[in-house]
Amino acid sequence: MSNSQSHCRSVNSAKFVFFCVFFAPTLVL
């Protein structure tokens, strides 16, 4: 259970980082 939760959390944080990296230049431009 805890292993699955940590995996899900890391995936969510990765998605958030990807979203920021992809969206930030759009806002700057």
Give the count of domains, the chain: 1
Range of the domain at 20: 1-29
pLDDT of residue 21: 92
Q: Is the CA virtual torsion 21, 22, 25, 28 positive or negative?
A: negative
pLDDT of residue 1: 56
Q: How confident is the model over 1-29, as pLDDT tens digits?
A: 567 888 878 989 999 999 999 998 888 77
Q: State the Cα–Cα distance between residues 29 and 19, nearest whole angstrom.
A: 16
pLDDT of residue 16: 93
